[in-house]
Structure 1
């Protein structure tokens, strides 16, 4: 996953399924106590330059408690945040591993968590942060570990959700001699500069069982825009939304940043609706679309705007957040800080860089088919410029996105033995594979399910489609591993 404040992708701590919502108010990765030892792999800095012999240490985890001599190797791919060792004992892939006798490995993504390839995150050093380098990390890791652990001819299956889901699919595409199969959950494999469909799906998901909910949110959003037109309302807005400092809108970027920040609270609820993320230490998982729309339908709470305020306060209370910081200048200052240990070093600076240089994925309010206003594409691209420099403009981003799709194929996947589960509540499914491409490029659309829902531990309250989805994935992998 949007703590970068431009992408609701993502942040759930493990960074296996951030959804590109590395949201800035998830600046710290929630962790729970799991007894899994950090291990370190000597990794190449630049796989794209054979003359560069520099190396660094990349963190990984191992669970060999289920391993059988004839079993496969499962490789979980880390993403845009710290790798959470909780995934070594929880999650659907662990259930599969127990049944299949698999060795489980989790490799943390370069530049995230404790995997620091360079002395800082300067723009010059961030050139070593890319999906291509990450895929090459996986290949080198697999090759060395196969020899080191004596894994011989065991078949490797790669798993990932959200951005790591893309990496799982792309690893199978680019390294078919290494990855026997892949499960690419909620993977938006089509890069796009202006991802207007994100909020279109948010509106559709809000309306699914609450037809008037998007309209109420739109009325509230319009009222907020009217209030913002007059500075005498800023004290009221500050109090209504529990802002950390008195609202100060002195530029278009201040204006857009505030509106985007507030909207992202609802966007986040939709993306992760009813997902079982508590084992990672995520707070507020009990707030769902149902909760939001029930509040928006409650006329006893006042006008749609007053109900919207209640929604935000309810979410903040559930997440145990004291206030919302909507100061764009402070955000830019934090994001420019290139130090490890700086305010954006948990993933915000790194992930925004990747979106500016590879993926776009900018969730603008440019579409008329959604309930929010005020954060257009130009606002998102301006962040690239303000944080990384003058070279990071719309032309550069557009060219980078085109190159990404040329490199990996976008929706035109040319490979085999990849499973693409996608929750249809999740806005990211709009950029994913939702219909079968061939007999062994399998799409699994998950009705009423959200982002990476198939990856989380089962529970009685989950969407009813998930048990069958997990069985289908297990059966498909079982068949492929016999080939």
Structure 2
């Protein structure tokens, strides 16, 4: 995702638990979200708006759209904003993602700017199994079989059909919006249900599923280079130094002190080692993914920490060796997110992610999103490439988490099969459709799995140099790059044209 995304719905901000850089469960913007377990589709600390600001509405949804004999239903959360609607105008549907739907998106965001100019009715639907949309009594692995992108798309189709009938929108043109994983859903909604959705804006959408995704960290390296060529080199030197120190248990007490760990460092298995190293690297991964974004309206904190901030620290010799500067960044992030210490206990992580109750990681979407990566997408951001600055969390580490959390049947073979099926079903990069625009940012690591060049005149890409994840979705501000301003305007012009067709 994403994660890990996106938020409007997403990331309801989800009282997200941040393992600090790792983000144990993240938020989902409807649009742009992300979850820890190696798949950070979206990251940040969000605080949900007061319900009085935007009323919650509930839609009776089918549990299993692909079993006609199953008549069970549940209540799915959604929000509406009819402020800008003019009779006959389009209906804008913001798609929720791997986290709680954030009602802040019903008051802010570029899509509302478009809605005002086009007279659109706006609605946001929370993704099943995230936020307050609970289809089952718990999150047991058996119940999670109803969690999939296919079921989510069927939710959107049924919701769109019923709402259109109830509100007299059957003849109106519907446009789907989403960022990150919900961006993929927006594209796939148009692809699979072309009779229900007229056009789609699929922002930062990873349309290609892949088990091993080391390219994520390759883009992180490239993005750090935008500050200075030596920045990723210094990060690599720090990471390598730490890795060497970890070979000697006598260094553990000092390492625990340097990185402000919550408890004595214990590296008993390769999973313990990888989890620790990934947690630290996650600080760079998350900052790069959301570099200079405009998420404050969601309640996000830490947006002042940018690539420049990290690289300035890494380049400052007064802060000691690169290893020491690496530790300085970890402590800066802890302070930024109001955390006293860093928890890097893998066993604790697995215990939390194995909790099947609607609490804990479930509140932010952690367990749910990991399940989707294990059963549909992969997206594992491994260090299996020499062209990136980190070390120590290879693909087997990520795959082992599927087994540790959900059982032995979730293994490398099952994940590979699931990813292949996903690409076969949606077409990966080979999308055959129309009226879908794919915005992506060059800084965002997820653009490596997205559409960055025009497929056709009716399937254009908007590649925005210098911007990160879902940048075009956030509210405009004076300091926005000219190319970001142009991208938003270009997307609007496409919508104008497409709504006339």
Query: Shorter-chain TM-score: what band?
Result: over 0.9
Task: Provide Cα deviations, 1:265-304, integer angstroms capped at 9, x if missing partner.
Answer: 1100000000101111111000000111111111111111
In the TM superposition, residue 314 of structure 1 has moved relative to its aligned partner by 1.7
SS state at 2:198 partner: strand
Q: Counterparts of 2:298 and 2:358 in 1: how far apart (Å)?
A: 23
Please say which of residues 148-157 and 232-241 is displaced more in the overlay. 232-241
Could you tell me how far 1:7 is from its partner in structure 2?
8.3
Q: CA contact under 8 A between 2:41 and 2:181: conserved in structure 1?
A: no
The alignment status of 1:68 with 2:86, answered yes or no, reads yes
Instruction: State whether residues 292 and 468 of structure 2, in contact with CA within 8 Å, keep that contact through their aligned partners in structure 1.
Output: yes
SS at match of 1:179: coil
- Residue in structure 2 matching 1:31, options 33, 48, 52: 48
Q: Is 1:260 the equivalent of 2:278?
A: yes
User: Where do 5+ consecutive residues of structure 1 fail to align?
Assistant: none
Q: How big is the shift at 1:207?
A: 0.7
Match of residue 176, structure 1, among 173, 181, 194: 194
Q: Which residue of 2 aligns with 1:452?
A: 470
> Is 1:482 aligned with 2:500?
yes
Distance 1:19 1:465, change over 3 A: farther
Cα contact 1:357–1:397 (8 A) shared by 2? yes
Q: Which residue of 2 aligns with 1:407?
A: 425
CA deviation digits over 1:188-229, x for unaligned, max 9?
A: 000000001000000010012311000000000011111111
- Residues 243 and 264 (structure 1), Cα distance of their counterparts in 2 relative to 1, 3 Å cut: same
Unaligned 5+ segments in structure 2 are: 5-16
Confirm or deny: 8 A CA contact 1:66 1:103 kept in the other structure: yes
Which of 322, 329, 340 is the equivalent residue of 1:304?
322
TM-score by length of 1: 0.97
- Cα distance, 1:452 vs. partner? 0.3
CA contact (8 A) 1:7 1:363 kept: no
Distance 1:27 1:337, change over 3 A: farther
How far is the alpha carbon of 1:459 from its aligned partner? 1.2
1: CA distance, partners of 2:18 / 2:376: 15
8 Å Cα contact 2:259/2:331 also seen in 1? yes
Partner of 2:182: 164
Q: What residue is the counterpart of 1:222 in the other structure?
A: 240
C-alpha distance in structure 1 between counterparts of 2:380 and 2:18, whole Å:
11
Rate the CA distance shift 1:15–1:477 in 2: closer, same or farther, 3 A. closer
Aligned residue runs from structure 1 range 89-168, under 5 A: 89-168=107-186
2:33 equivalent to 1:18: yes
* Residue equivalent to 1:203: 221
Greater mean alpha carbon deviation, residues 428-437 or residues 298-307: 298-307
CA deviation vs aligned residue, 1:249-272 (integer Å, no higher than 9, x gap): 111100000001110111000000
Counterpart CA distance in 1 for 2:22 and 2:31 is: 16
Q: Following the alignment from structure 2 to structure 1, what is the Cα–Cα distance between the partners of residues 82 and 401?
A: 43
Partner of 2:58: 40
Once the two structures are TM-superposed, the CA of residue 401 in structure 1 deviates from its matched residue by 0.1
1:424 equivalent in structure 2: 442
RMSD: 1.9
TM value normalised by structure 2: 0.93
For the residues of structure 1 that align with 2:35 and 2:496, how far apart are their CA atoms? Answer: 30
User: How many angstroms does 1:156 deviate by?
Assistant: 0.1
Distance 1:429 1:316, change over 3 A: same
